[in-house]
Amino acid sequence: MDALLRAAESFVDYLGAISWGALALAIVCHLAKVVARTRSWRNILAASYPETQVRWRSVFGAYVAGVGVNAVVPARGGDVLKLFLIKRRIEGSSYPTLAATLLVETLFDIVVASLLLIWALQQGVLPGLDVVGSLPSIDWFYVFQNPTVAAIIGVAALVLGFAVGVWASRRIEAFSQRVSQGFAILRSPARYFRRVVPWQALDWCLRLTALFFFLHAFGLPATAYNAFLVQVAESLATIAPLTPGGIGTEQALLLYVFADDASRAAVLSFSIGLKLVLVAVNLVLGFTAIALMLRTLRWRRLVDGEQIATR
pLDDT average, residue stretch 298-304: 70
Of residues 103 and 246, the one with the higher pLDDT is 103
CA pair distance 49, 146, nearest whole angstrom? 46
Average pLDDT over all residues of the chain: 80
CA pair distance 16, 12, nearest whole angstrom? 8
Task: State how far the alpha carbon of 154 is from the alpha carbons of 74, 143, 146, 150, 165, in Å.
Answer: 19, 11, 13, 6, 16
Predicted confidence at residue 2, as pLDDT, reads 55
CA pair distance 15, 3, nearest whole angstrom? 18
Predicted confidence at residue 165, as pLDDT, reads 60
List the single range of 5-9, 37-41, 230-234, 295-299 with lowest mean pLDDT: 5-9
Q: Which residues contact 297 (CB under 8 A, 6 or more apart)?
A: 287, 290, 291
In this predicted structure, the answer to whether residue 301 has a pLDDT above a threshold of 80 is no
CA pair distance 13, 267, nearest whole angstrom? 12
CA pair distance 71, 119, nearest whole angstrom? 28
Q: Which residues contact 93 (CB under 8 A, 6 or more apart)?
A: 49, 52, 86, 87
Predicted confidence at residue 129, as pLDDT, reads 45
Burial 284-304 (b: 16+ CB within 10 A, else e): ebbbebbeebbeeeebeebbe
The runs of H, that is alpha helices, within the chain are 2-13, 20-48, 56-70, 78-89, 95-123, 129-132, 141-145, 147-169, 172-182, 189-195, 197-217, 224-237, 249-257, 264-294, 299-309
In this predicted structure, the answer to whether residue 240 has a pLDDT above a threshold of 70 is no
In this predicted structure, the answer to whether residue 130 has a pLDDT above a threshold of 50 is no
Of residues 176 and 215, the one with the higher pLDDT is 215
Q: How many residues does the chain have?
A: 311
Of residues 137 and 26, the one with the higher pLDDT is 26
CA pair distance 302, 84, nearest whole angstrom? 9
Biggest distance spanned by C-alpha atoms of the chain: 61
DSSP, collapsed to helix, strand or coil, labels residue 16 as helix
Q: Is 38 exposed, middle or buried (0-12, 13-18, 19+ CB in 10 A)?
A: buried
List the single range of 38-52, 113-127, 236-250, 276-290 with lowest mean pLDDT: 236-250
Rounded to 5 degrees, φ, ψ at 121 are -65, -40
Task: State how far the alpha carbon of 32 is from the alpha carbons of 35, 57, 150, in Å.
Answer: 5, 14, 39
In this predicted structure, the answer to whether residue 119 has a pLDDT above a threshold of 80 is yes
pLDDT band at 160 (very low <50, low <70, confident <90, very high): confident
81 neighbors 69 (Cβ within 8 angstroms): yes
In this predicted structure, the answer to whether residue 75 has a pLDDT above a threshold of 90 is no
CA pair distance 247, 54, nearest whole angstrom? 34
What single-letter DSSP state applies at residue 128? P
pLDDT band at 144 (very low <50, low <70, confident <90, very high): very low
Residue type, 247: I
